[in-house]
A = this chain, B = another copy of it.
Amino acid sequence: MTDLVEQVPEILLMGPGPSCVPDQVYKALSQKTIGHMDPAFLRIMDEIKGLLQTVMGTENRLTLPLSGTGSAGMEAAFVNLVERGDPVLILINGVFGKRMQDVASRLGAEVDTLEFDWGSPVDPGEVKKKIGSKSYKIVAVVHAETSTGVCNPVREIGELVRGGDSLYLVDAVTSLGGMPVQMDEWGADALYSGSQKCLSCPPGLAPVSFSDRAVETLRSRKSKVPNWYLDLTMIIAYWEGAKRVYHHTAPINMLYGLYEALRLLVDEGLESVYGRHRAGHERLVAGLEDMGLEMLAEKKNRLPMLNAVRCPDDVDEAEVRRRLRQDHLIEIGAGLGPLAGKIWRVGLMGHTARTENVDRFLDALRRSLGR
């Protein structure tokens, strides 16, 4: 039998995640596995917690990576905070806002939504009206909407929510590590991300953080968290305190990888990392516009790490992706939902966000388009 893994091609990952992974992270992934209660491992866990606090801009004690992918972070944020019948407001302008609606509804929340065009940001004026008219237990928004490349005004929305009874829940799956995430400044009470985007680690972990207010809500639930695996009251007991209580076996080697990825990020310096993302984005957009292509989002709303590009009407969208992958070993993403077939999603996340990758992609795209 052929070893398919040995033969995996080296692809330049410019889709919506996973992104390219630095060699040091690969090396970390293959260090010897140790026990999940081993003192040497507990030290690594403590370091990961501190590094995540730095990258997330928070002093929250409950800051840790969950044993699942980014979507498990979303599931965990809602399942720990929602009880049946709780009123929840979800701000939607893409796939991941819709996913929040689905997740919260399945948990029995009374979900209201405010929907905005896919490609436009959430309008804080509308949010202000909505939360003025009804009291919500949770107001939830996606920071970087991966399906459209739009940045939502999380700071402004946070100012509106602040001071009231609502908990403020922010999806930072795509933004974390690629642009400033200031959880405490924004007044966010629950925030989650994924390891495989701007953190430049393979997929498999979901960093989350809960404010003290969110922890209080969690601790004073009337019902048990209806998800044993993601119950943070128990997971905290494994991640905190002098005596660690076994909950489930942590994904040791993935956590090695995340530790190394976070170290690299903090060593490079967060401002420098964000600058690298912005510079790559500007170079990319300039190159695309040179080719006569248009971005989906208006300039002021664009994310640096996820670039949604309109596919011209006379171009076969899927065929271009196929050629990029086959002839140039570059992956980019397709549009989702109503944007399927209409856009390409070009990721510049983490280790991918470098000048040479932008140039290689622009050249390959030019050839694939025959321009």
Contacts and interface: CB of A to CB of B under 8 A. Distances in A.
A13 interface: yes
Interface string A13-52: 1010110110000111111111110101101100100000
A294 interface: no
Tallying the copies of this chain within the complex gives 2
Contacts of A168: none
A196 B252 CA distance: 10
Contact of A226 (B38, B107, B251): B107
A274 to B, nearest CB: 21
B252 A18 contact: yes
Contacts of A31: 5-6, 8, 26
B254 A204 contact: yes
A260 interface: yes
B249 A17 contact: yes
A38 B325 contact: yes
Interface stretch (A62-70, A119-127, A157-165, A177-185): A62-70
A17 B248 CA distance: 11
Nearest to A267: B1
Contact of A249 (B9, B69, B75): B69
Contacts of A247: 71
Contacts of A15: 35
A11 interface: yes
A26 B31 CA distance: 7
A26 B30 contact: yes
Best-surrounded residue of A7, A31, A252, A336 (most CB of chain B within 10 A): A31
B229 A226 contact: no
Nearest to A249: B203
A174 B210 CA distance: 33
Interface residues of A, number: 78
Nearest to A27: B30
B8 A32 contact: yes
A197 to B, nearest CB: 9
A33 B21 CA distance: 7
Nearest to A100: B228
Contacts of A176: none
Interface in A63-93: 67-72, 74-75, 79
B106 A229 contact: no
Nearest to A256: B5
A36 B69 CA distance: 12
B28 A5 contact: yes
A242 interface: no
A227 B79 CA distance: 9
Contacts of A259: 4-5
A224 interface: yes
Contacts of A27: 30
A61 B18 CA distance: 27
Contact of A47 (B4, B44, B105, B251): B4
Interface of A: 1, 3-11, 13, 15, 17-18, 20-21, 26-36, 38, 40-41, 43-44, 47, 67-72, 74-75, 79, 99, 102-103, 105-108, 194, 196, 202-204, 224-229, 246-254, 256-257, 259-260, 263, 267, 325, 331, 336
CB-based closest 5 A-B pairs: A204-B251, A71-B248, A30-B30, A26-B30, A202-B253
